[in-house]
Chain A
Amino acid sequence: SSELSQDPAVSVALGQTVRITCQGDSLRTYYASWYQKKTGQAPVLVMYGKKNRPLGISDRFSGSTSGNTASLTITGAQAEDEADYYCHSRDSSGNHVVFGGGTKVTVL
């Protein structure tokens, strides 16, 4: 079982806002990072650190952390945002990497 918990699936209407959450004790110590994964493609980093967005990533994506929960928010979701989203951080030992189980985002 993963030390980071994500809801399996969420849906959002085109142009609306959706928040994806990731829970885990290690998030009280380490920031989460977030990856977009589409079928047949490599994962893409979309958010890392406190609130950092890599170059080329749409500003529709934003991140936040509160306590043991990290969140990725997509504001004004577009059809191309439909994908699986994974959070990632370190485990409680700090030496190993752990991924959340992933959240499938469907844009209606």
Chain B
Amino acid sequence: EVELVESGGGLVNPGGSLRLSCASSGFIFSDYTMTWVRQAPGKGLEWVSSISSSSTNIYYTDSVKGRFTISRDNAKNSLYLQMNSLSAEDTAVYYCARYRFSAVSNYFDYWGQGTLVTVSS
């Protein structure tokens, strides 16, 4: 059974840093592109960042570029998101998700339960 478990969320001061982790099991982690998606309170889903299976291709949404760093450790079946210079606008539940794609199709087939990041003084 595929399982994704996020951790590392919490309360952080504006300007602070936080590192999220996503532990995976039940599938060959190194075969898949992985993604972080967030949902701010009362808002919709927002894609944050994606990383290809071998970390060759990395993408970020514009609002986090230069502040967030996505990474993965295939030996540990884990995905990470290093978040720096956090602001209130980064307050959200962060989900990791497995990404599937082809030439004309793309979707997230498995999601973790999410970890809450709250940026507040």
Q: Do A and B associate with each other?
A: yes
By a beta-carbon cutoff of 8 Å, the part of chain A in contact with chain B is 2, 29-31, 33, 35, 37, 41-45, 48-50, 54, 84, 86, 88-90, 95-102
Q: Does B59 contact A95, Cβ atoms closer than 8 Å?
A: yes
Q: Are B111 and A42 in contact (CB under 8 A)?
A: yes
Nearest chain A CB to B18's CB is how many angstroms away?
Answer: 20
From B39, B104, B107, A88 is in contact (CB under 8 Å) with: B107
CB distance from B120 to the nearest CB of A (A): 20
Residues of B at the A interface (CB closer than 8 Å) are 35, 37, 39, 44-47, 50, 59, 61, 95, 97, 99-100, 104-109, 111-114
Q: Interface residues of B: mostly helix, strand, loop or mixed? A: strand
* A97 CB contacts on chain B under 8 angstroms: 35, 47, 50, 59, 99, 106
Q: Do B47 and A43 have beta carbons less than 8 Å apart?
A: no
Query: Which of B39, B46, B109 has most chain A Cβ within 10 Å?
Result: B39
Q: Are A102 and B44 in contact (CB under 8 A)?
A: yes
Q: What are 26 contact pairs spanning A and B, CB under 8 A?
A: A2-B44, A30-B105, A31-B105, A31-B106, A33-B106, A33-B107, A33-B108, A35-B108, A42-B111, A42-B114, A43-B45, A43-B97, A44-B111, A45-B107, A48-B100, A48-B105, A49-B107, A88-B45, A95-B59, A96-B47, A96-B61, A97-B50, A97-B59, A97-B106, A99-B45, A102-B44
